[in-house]
Structure 1
Amino acid sequence: MAEHEMRELSGEKKLPQEEVTGSSSSSDVEQQKSPALPELQRKLKSRHLQMIAIGGTIGTGLFIGSGAALQKSGPVGALIAYIFVGTLVYSVMTSLGEMATSIPIAGAFTSYASRFVDPSLGFGMGWIYWFSWAITYALELTASGLIIQYWDSSLSIGIFIAIFWVVITTVNFLPVSFYGEIEFWFSMIKVITVVGFLIFAICIDAGAGKQGYLGFHYWVHPGAFAPYLLKSKGGVAKFVGFWSVLIQAGFSYQGTELVGIAAGECENPRKTVPSAIRKTFYRILFFFVFTIFFIGLLIPYDNESLLNSSSGSDASASPFVIAARLAGVKVLPGLINAVLLAVVLSAANSNVYSGSRIVVGLATDGFAPKFFKKTTKHGVPYYAVAFTAAFGLLAFLNLSNNGGTVFNWLLNIAGVAGFISWACINGCHLAFMRALRAQNISRENLPYKAMWQPFFAWYGLGFNVLIILTQGFTAFIDWSTSDFFAAYISLLLFVVLYFGHKIVFRTRLVNPAEADIDTGRKEADTEIWETTVPTTLWGKFWERLG
């Protein structure tokens, strides 16, 4: 049993940090300087972690892109797609949660892949996940420019891409506590907006708008499912519509796994991470499923304005704005767009944060230059932030005549990369459980035990892989070289990264009996013991207040 655990059971008082440091052995010092724990600082509180997961998820995918899902698959098709992908996300979250609470380290699941499966998988997974967030940053900056154009279409989106790029990048050079606080309040705006929209939708559906009582009218006319591409083949065309929006749904949910990324910088991860996983996912599922449900009640899938959401070329195509227009509420569309701007900037903020921390994890594992681990005195990895933020400049590609096509390319690339990361997380968790069994460690003793395992992890892994392989099928129905590469470029890049690393470094699959499940776990145990709030009534009061 670890020394700190024996002290805890015996009630022995913890010595001050100075005394502990002064009496530490050389091995203890080496352990504290372990490369698995770069100089990131644990400044994120539980409320920050809760909102980071929500803030990183609720963004362009829900507020703007969800209109494309309705247009392609109809109200019921879109609803089923979001529920289905939501179950996959939950399998990923529970898998990640068990690993992140046991070993809360910087880099999170990219390091788990290297430790439990194959170093080459950690390399490929880490860089494809970073690539996903870097591309998404460009996507969010594009969306911010499109939203501004709602008020004045003559303004170039390039102006606002540049302005917001500078603002978001600057914020990420501030201490992580600033990021957490900013994200907390941005996320509050999102939550209030979604809740307000749900209340608005209930009223309009009940007859408060100029259309009168709607009920489930649009589920009948034009219909519950939309035929897509194969319009003359009935049920098959409707299934094609449903399957075609899974990537859109996945992109909307992408970011939920930020809980695992932030585990290396949150206070007492053994407590805050499981809490964030249990609460955040249900909140997100509630927001997404109910939002998609009511959008389908208020807007027919053949509405002409929804066509613009498919090309990503017009912020007025947001289903939130369309619903307000159809209801005849004149002031609301402008207000919604103002909120959308805050939503998109918040998501962009999360993109740079998560991408930079992934780069730190890659550098820690030796998969990126070591200088990416360098931090300011406040624990900000400035090289990693600058490198990730630089890719946001890809948003300027939207200034071309084919800006809508670029938007779709970015969305598909990021969405598929997200599914690849989710599949890898499920696979890492299966390998983690295998390592525990091989080393005779019971899962019952873990700080957080994932539910329905290993079946739930296999469920997530199987369907995530199936979606990755089949999501580009529409390019084959009506062949489009552009659509094919947009659908599969992330997968091709992942394969090249994995096999390229394996060929160069000749890595082998990790033996479960030799898998490293200690580095990061013991250090976290020590940190938590040293920073735990005393179990007095006063201590508990401040703990709950914080």
Structure 2
Amino acid sequence: MEDKTTKYGPQDDLPAVAGDRISQKSLPQSTRDIEKQTAPEDAQLHRKLGSRHLQFVAIGGTIGTGIFIASGTSVATAGPVGALLAYVFIGTLVYSVMLSLSEMATFFPISGAFTRYAGRFVDPSLAFSMGWIYFISWSITYALELTVAGIIIQWWNSSLSIGIFITIFWVPLTLVNYLPVDLFGEFEFWFASIKVIALLGFMIFGICINAGAGDQGYLGFHYWKSPGAFAPYLTDGAKAKFVGFWAVLIQAGFAFQGTELVAIGAGESANPRKTMPRAIRNTFWSIFLLFVFTIFFIGILVPYDEPRLTIGDSNASSSPLVIAAQLAGVQVLPHIINAVLLTVVLSAASSNVYSGSRVLVGLSEERCAPRFFQKTTKRGVPWVAVSITAAFGLLAYMNLSEGGGTVFNWLLNIVSVAGFIAWSCTFICHLRFMDAMDSQNIARDTLPFKSWGGRWLAWYGLTFCVIITLTQGFTAFVPWSTQDFFISYVSLLLFVVAYVGHKVVTRSKFVKSSEADLVTGRFNEEVTEVWEESPRSWWKKLYPRFFS
């Protein structure tokens, strides 16, 4: 029989950690010291997020302008089939990321998730660089969403200043993030549900229009034949189709970025060994199917040579969903889509603040940020981290001046590649996690959740994420453009500078597999039950008299 013991004794006798029912006195002295250093008394996140809350926080942060607007550019660049293949391919990478995350997050459901795994299994310098790039990415995205919200409203009245709406939306979205996490999760659940309903409604609409309900009559796969299934890009012949497909990968990656946010809430999830696998699995399939089917219907309803697909506006005028309706002769839909877009952007914005603040807490617990970032209210809200993350939203005011808008656009380029960097680091963490388990004689069969792909799936995801990250700016080379080069690779350059700088200053060492901490942060299965999963049960607890 395989030996399943570790240096702390049999697997079943591993000590519990903060938050478990077992006394802290059962921890080894070294582990208790770590807990004291990384979890001050006033920094206790509450485990009150259920599976559906985790799912919709991730859906809220993922489904945004990337699919409602930028998907039109993807179809124009690669054609309907090229764009569809690009989204499916990126979906396989995201699936690999989610499986790797699920295996670690169910074993160590801690705040900050994968940013902290880097410091525990790989290298503290990797945790520093990865965590800060990821935090900056989501913080800047908050400013982006506030700007887009103003542009969306300008579609109805262009005389109004964007600055008015940046202020109007920044205040309530920031305040929502000071709510206890269970109330925030419920808010995000209902707010993000609008996006899901909108995309499902578009699919039903697409079926009807394609079948002949619109002015164009029956379409079928006509646009796959004329103008074609693949769009040529930058060159001629067969290679032009591949170049178009490859160019869309970074756009598809940006659209999928945020799916991994479900693991950010691991430190606040109730019964994580049960809720986390279900939340991660459901989140991936929900987002993947919504994205793939949306791209598919756009491809059969709108030809890739439609000029309006490449307008570049951030409102309904350049949304492929609206263009599909206009081609079909439906005139009222643009107003409805624009209203939906507003809720889409605002939901994503609130999720950005939540995600950024929890990453900041994780960085603090890994000693990669000041310790006071861990301070929480009595209801478990990390108010310092929320305040700092929300303050980044004020960068949106830079768009009110021409020079500031240029700087803001440069900042946005950090966002586009940060997701691929985070995914690559997640795969590295998972590979090192498996090495640590092997070195310490812990069988993977003892894990609450086991990735079916194991090492080969992690290597598959890591290989292609690194290739895409390194080649995503290939257009800067044909012909050479110094400005385009820095625009494409600013994220990667900042990541390398942060890593090398931290390594030089702290002289941190790589973590040996045999010495990796596989104890601190483990969660006992026996936890206090919190609110039930169904929305009806949630409202019943708030207003029992109406359900008696």
User: Once the two structures are aligned, what percentage of the paired residues are identical?
Assistant: 63
Counterpart of 2:167 (choices 146, 149, 162) is 162
**How far did 1:323 drift?**
1.3
Contact 1:374–1:383 at 8 Å: present in 2 too?
yes
**Which runs of structure 2 are paired with 1:15-34 in the superposition (5 Å)?**
33=36
SS in 2 for 1:154: coil
1:234 aligns with 2:237: yes
Distance 2:28 2:488 in 1: 52
The separation in 2 between residues aligned to 1:506 and 1:236, in whole angstroms, is: 46
1:503/1:136 Cα in 2 relative to 1: closer, same or farther (>3 Å)? same
- Name the residue aligned to 1:52: 57
Instruction: Provide the residue aligned with 1:279 in structure 2.
Output: 282
The Cα of 1:541 is off from its aligned counterpart by: 11
Query: Equivalents in 1 of 2:406, 2:135: separation in Å?
Result: 22
- Counterpart of 2:99 in structure 1 is 94
Deviations 1:154-212 (A, max 9, x none): 22222212221222111112211221011100121111111111000010011111111
**Which residue of structure 2 aligns with residue 219 of structure 1?**
224
- Asked if 1:251 corresponds to 2:248, the answer is no
Q: Any conservation in 1 of the 2:50–2:533 contact (CA below 8 Å)?
A: no
What is the Cα deviation at residue 234 of structure 1?
2.2
Matched position secondary structure for 1:158: helix
User: Could you list the runs of 5+ residues in structure 1 that have no partner in the other structure?
Assistant: 8-16, 534-538
Provide the residue aligned with 1:469 in structure 2. 470
39, 44, 65: which is aligned to 1:39?
Answer: 44
Amino acid at match of 2:233: Y
Match of 1:288 in 2: 291
SS at match of 2:304: coil
What amino acid sits opposite 2:392 in the alignment? Answer: F
Over aligned residues, Cα RMSD in angstroms? Answer: 2.9
User: How far off is 1:396 after superposition?
Assistant: 2.6
The offset of 1:437, in angstroms, is 0.2
Count matched residues: 524
- Cα 1:542–1:222 change in 2 (3 A) is closer
CA separation in 1, counterparts of 2:289 and 2:242? 25
Q: Distance in 2 between matches of 1:225 and 1:24?
A: 62
1:320 aligns with 2:312: no
Tell me the residue number matched to 1:457: 458
| Aligned: 1:531 with 2:536 | no
What secondary structure, in the 3-state scheme, does the structure 2 residue paired with 1:454 have?
A: helix
Once the two structures are overlaid, the 10-residue window that deviates more, 389-398 or 491-500, is 389-398
SS of the aligned residue for 2:216 comes to coil
Alpha-carbon contact 2:58-2:351 (below 8 Å) kept: no
TM-score by length of 2: 0.89
3-state SS in 1 of match to 2:390: helix
Q: Is 2:309 the partner of 1:306? A: yes
What residue identity is the alignment partner of 1:395?
A
Who is 1:122 aligned against? 127
Whole-angstrom distance in 2 between the partners of 1:25 and 1:159: 54
Q: Secondary structure at the match of 1:164?
A: helix
Specify which of 172, 176, 179 is matched with residue 181 of structure 2. Answer: 176
Shift of 1:149: 1.6
The letter for the 1-side match of 2:305 is D
- Assess, with a 3 A threshold, how the Cα gap between structure 1 residues 32 and 131 changes in structure 2: closer, same or farther: closer
**Contact kept? 1:227, 1:237, Cα under 8 Å:** yes
Q: Spell out, residue by residue over 1:139-159, the C-alpha distance to the aligned partner (whole angstroms, 9 max, x if none).
A: 211221121122112222222
Residue from 190, 195, 204 that aligns with 1:199: 204
Unaligned runs of 5+ in 2: 14-18, 539-548
CA deviation string 1:259-306 (max 9, x = no partner): 110000010111100001222211111100000000111111111211
8 Å CA contact 1:91–1:456 kept in 2: the answer is yes
1:313–1:404 Cα contact (<8 Å) kept: no
**Distance (Å, rounded) in 2 between the aligned partners of 1:111 and 1:331:** 48
TM-score under structure 1 length normalisation: 0.90
My pick for the range that moved more, 42-51 or 357-366, is 42-51
For 1:542 and 1:224, how far apart are their aligned partners in 2?
43
CA distances 1:455-503 after superposition (whole Å, capped 9, x unpaired): 0000000000000000000111133333222210000000000010001
Contact 1:101-1:274 within 8 A present in 2 as well: yes
